[in-house]
Amino acid sequence: METSDICLCSFFTDPVSYYNPLHIAVMRNKPDMVQMLLGHGAEIDKRDRIHESSPLDLAGEEADRLPCLRVLLDLGADVNAKDKNGKTALLHALAISDGLTVNNTDNIQLLLERGADVNAATHDGESSMSSLTFLVKEALDSSPEDGKEIRHFCTHVAHLLLSHGADPSCCLNAADGEVWEPSLTYTSLENFDLFFPLAALLLQHGASFFCSHHSASYWTGQRLIFTRLAEVLRESSDDVDVADLFAKAEALLDLARVCSPVLPPLFPQSEVPVLEQVSAHQSLLELYSKLKDQESQPLPLRCLCRRLIHHCLRPWPFEEKVKALPLPDRLKVLLLPEHSWTDTPGWDAFKSHNSQR
Task: Dump pLDDT digits (tens) for 93-112.
Answer: 999 999 888 889 999 999 99
322, part of any domain: yes
Question: How far is the CA of 152 from the CAs of 138, 139, 194, in angstroms?
Answer: 13, 10, 12
Q: Which domain holds residue 335?
A: 118-262+304-357
Over pLDDT 90: what percentage of the chain? 58
Q: Say how many C-beta atoms besides its own lie within 10 A of residue 202's C-beta.
A: 30
Specify the CATH number for the domain of residue 36.
1.25.40.20
**Residue 131 and residue 79 share a domain:** no
Higher pLDDT, 118 or 356: 118
**Residue 250 and residue 167 share a domain:** yes
CA distance linking residue 15 with residue 242, whole number of Å? 62
Banded pLDDT at 315 (limits 50, 70, 90):
low
For residue 44, what pLDDT is reported?
Answer: 96
**Residue 31 and residue 161 share a domain:** no
**Residue 353 and residue 205 share a domain:** yes
Q: Looking at 98-102, 165-169, 233-237, which range is the least confident one?
A: 233-237
Measuring CA to CA, which residue among 63, 147, 134, 68 is closest to residue 103?
63
**Residue 58 and residue 175 share a domain:** no
Higher pLDDT, 70 or 301: 70
For residue 8, what pLDDT is reported?
Answer: 43
194, part of any domain: yes
Higher pLDDT, 203 or 333: 203
DSSP 129-174: HHHHHHHHHHHHTS-HHHHHHHHHHHHHHHHHHHTTT--TTSPEEP
Burial class (CB in 10 A: 0-12, 13-18, 19+), 63: middle
Question: How far is the CA of 119 from the CAs of 116, 123, 128, 129, 284, in angstroms?
Answer: 9, 13, 7, 8, 38
Higher pLDDT, 66 or 335: 66
Higher pLDDT, 51 or 196: 196
Residue 208: half-sphere exposure toward Cβ, Cα within 13 Å:
20
214, part of any domain: yes
Mean pLDDT, range 198-216, rounded to an integer: 89
Q: What is the mean pLDDT of the chain?
A: 86
Higher pLDDT, 320 or 82: 82
For residue 3, what pLDDT is reported?
Answer: 46
**Residue 321 and residue 236 share a domain:** yes
324, part of any domain: yes
CA distance linking residue 213 with residue 233, whole number of Å? 31
The answer, yes or no, to whether residue 7 has pLDDT greater than 50, is no
Higher pLDDT, 48 or 249: 249
HEC string for 294-316: HHCCCCCHHHHHHHHHHHHCCCC
Mean pLDDT, range 328-333, rounded to an integer: 83
Higher pLDDT, 331 or 120: 120
The answer, yes or no, to whether residue 246 has pLDDT greater than 70, is yes
**Residue 143 and residue 71 share a domain:** no
How do residues 104-147 score in pLDDT, each as one tens digit? 999 999 999 999 999 999 998 899 999 999 999 999 999 989 99
**Residue 140 and residue 63 share a domain:** no
